[in-house]
Amino acid sequence: MSPRNAATPATAHPAKQPPAGPRAEAKRQAIVKAARALFLREGFDASVDAIAAEAGVSKVTVYNHFGSKEALFVGVVKDSLDAPLDDTLAAAIEGLGDSDDLREAMVAAARAWVAEVRANPDVLALRNVVARELHRFPELAAAWHRRGTEHHHPAMARALRHLADEGRLEVGDLDVAILQLYSLLVYPHLVFSAYGAEVDDDLTDRLITGGVDMFLRHYGARADRNRDPA
């Protein structure tokens, strides 16, 4: 029997409907915030007692909301993945379809996107915790797979689909296009952070402008592909 399976009977509580309402939601958010901080600091070894104390709730309240520490860990990760875009990034992405200069608009959106990633070191660090603990939580990979690529960044998916519908991009496979855009713009920061390093400002901007140019050379409307970048 694996260590995780052996621990489950001692920590898991019977599944039931979690508390609802404004007060319950406020407590849930406090639990998630406290758990994120402790999981980042101590990994999955952080105790539920410590999380409850940090959140200012009882241990029973933690279990009422999540049922087990495993479920809480998964909830913290999903909460970070589902975190809403800030206003600057959301506006930049949503405005792509209305732009006269698509390259300029994509560079601006990419800068806002990457700035958000770089400004949230906790999210990067949490991804590294997940990488260490993933063997214990195959459900994280399953949840990621079930949701599908475009659901991880719905605003960008909508923008690319709109641009394709308008004939400004030629996107045959939206899942591939989104992953390629992530790879060009965001993944370098995730890889560097996994080794405790970071991409400096100058290289970040070169990756952004070069990445957008590569993306548009591949997916831009045929009439625009041979144009020199501004």
| CATH classification number, 3-80, choose in 1.10.10.60, 1.10.287.1080, 1.25.40.10, 3.30.420.40 | 1.10.10.60
* Rg, C-alpha atoms of the chain: 21
How far apart are alpha carbons 91 and 193 in whole angstroms? Answer: 27
Q: Yes or no: say if 50 and 38 are a contact pair by the CB < 8 Å rule.
A: yes
C-beta pairs of 158-161 under 8 Å, 24+ apart in sequence = 158/94, 159/93, 159/94, 159/96, 159/97, 159/109
Give tens-digit pLDDT for 126-167: 777 777 777 777 776 666 555 545 555 677 888 889 899 999
Q: Where are the domains of the chain?
A: 3-80, 84-224
Q: What is the CATH number of domain 84-224?
A: 1.10.357.10
Q: What is the pTM of this model?
A: 0.64
Give tens-digit pLDDT for 42-98: 888 899 999 999 999 999 999 999 998 888 887 887 776 555 555 666 777 777 878
Residue 18's Cβ-count burial label (10 Å; 0-12, 13-18, 19+) is middle
CA distance readout (Å), 162 to 90, 157, 207: 15, 9, 25
Q: How many residues does the chain have?
A: 230
Query: Would you say the CATH fold of 84-224 matches that of 3-80?
Result: no
